[in-house]
Amino acid sequence: MTRRKRIRMAMQKNGRLSEKSTSLLGRCGLEFGWSKDRLFSKCENFPLDLTLVRDDDIPEYVCDGVCELGVVGLNVLKEKLLARGADKPGRARVLRRLGFGHCRLSLAVPADRPYRGVRSLKGTRIATSYPATLREFLRKSKVEADIVEISGSVEIATTLDIADCVCDLVSTGTTLRSNGLKEVETVFESECVLARTGLPLSAGQERTAARLLQRIDGVMRAADAKYIMLNAPADALSSLKKVLPGMEEPTIIPLGGDGKRVAVHAVAYEPVFWETMERLKAAGASSILVVPIEKIIA
């Protein structure tokens, strides 16, 4: 009997990460028979099955090998790994940062309370849903404080006098400000990640995971990449290369018989702004085309 090659991936069922996680898999060419109420979804054209759960359960699933892969906020993964104890076998590790779901775990104090550095938090009560991450931060900062663990609506903890300050996720900062709090320290910067179990996979599953990673890398590399085509005098090539951001070695195609003018085709891995195009023109380029790239396998 051949060993399994299908892998199971845990993903958030319903929440901030669901749409972008789904879209990423779609751009990787994976097709699913979606149904909102289902907890499992089998990919029809790739050996992967999705398990759709609450984000809090994903680290546990991945650590225990219930799912070989998981898509989850690094904040949740780190918290669960710290809470679980770093020495337990079968831990999860991060394979890729996925470039969405950015946020930070921050300390915030009432706006009218003076703040004189992290040491001034000594002896305070800090409300958070991330006790293990906060505990690690306080230990490293050599500050002793009381951690008040609450599961939601952390931002109202000071108003309710459950705590003196809070440690919560922030993205725009609006929630903190509208609750009379000011952000004073960043504890942890987070984004959505692809994690894999520390437990061994079968050879077939390793190959499946490697194929998926190659596709994810292809999609992510293509996100900012552009294909640039332009015509230019052959002797302007070196100055053009200086202008083009993150360009690979270009393909040069002679135009006409005398070799004095060439067509240049290249992939640029950084954004190409109008200013860049103007500088290309000033360096001698004409007929400049910049087109988006859908996928790249390097």
The one of Zn ion, ligand PRT, none whose footprint includes residue 169, by CB under 5 to 8 A per kind, is ligand PRT
Closer to ligand PRT at the Cβ: 49 or 56? 56
Instruction: Output the six-digit token pair for 289.
Output: 């085309």
Closer to ligand PRT at the Cβ: 13 or 196? 13
Phi and psi torsions of 165, nearest 5°: -150, 175
Closer to ligand PRT at the Cβ: 56 or 217? 56
The one of Zn ion, ligand PRT, none whose footprint includes residue 103, by CB under 5 to 8 A per kind, is ligand PRT
Rg, Å, the chain Cα set? 25
Strand ranges for the chain from DSSP E: 7-12, 40-42, 48-53, 69-73, 92-97, 103-110, 125-128, 146-149, 165-170, 181-190, 192-197, 226-233, 251-255, 261-268, 286-292
Contact mark string toward ligand PRT, 182..201, x via CB under 6 A: --------x-----------
Task: Give least dist CB 37 to ligand PRT, A.
Answer: 15
CA atoms lying within 13 Å on the CB side of residue 54: 2
Q: Does 159 bind ligand PRT (CB under 6 A)?
A: no
Q: Could you say which residues in the range 44-83 bind Zn ion, by CB under 5 A?
A: 55-56
Q: Does 170 bind ligand PRT (CB under 6 A)?
A: yes
Task: Give least dist CB 109 to ligand PRT, A.
Answer: 16
3-state secondary structure 176-241: HHHCCEEEEEEEEEECEEEEEECCCCCHHHHHHHHHHHHHHHHHHHHHHCEEEEEEEEHHHHHHHH
CA atoms of 76 and 79, how far apart (whole Å): 5
The one of ligand PRT, Zn ion, none whose footprint includes residue 175, by CB under 5 to 8 A per kind, is ligand PRT
CA atoms of 16 and 55, how far apart (whole Å): 10
The one of Zn ion, ligand PRT, none whose footprint includes residue 242, by CB under 5 to 8 A per kind, is none
Q: Could you say which residues in the range 17-56 bind ligand PRT, by CB under 6 A?
A: 17, 54-56
* CB-closest chain residue to ligand PRT: 73
Closer to Zn ion at the Cβ: 55 or 168? 55
Phi and psi torsions of 274, nearest 5°: -55, -40
CA atoms of 168 and 181, how far apart (whole Å): 11
Q: Could you say which residues in the range 72-91 bind ligand PRT, by CB under 6 A?
A: 73, 75-76
Instruction: Output the six-digit token pair for 190.
Output: 């987070």
Bridge partners (DSSP) listed for residue 165:
126
Contact segment (CB under 6 A) with ligand PRT among 29-37, 38-46, 168-176, 258-266 equals 168-176
Task: Give least dist CB 18 to ligand PRT, A.
Answer: 8
Q: Which residues here bind Zn ion, judged by CB under 5 A?
A: 55-56
Contacting residues toward ligand PRT, per CB under 6 A: 12, 15-17, 54-56, 73, 75-76, 101, 103, 168-175, 190
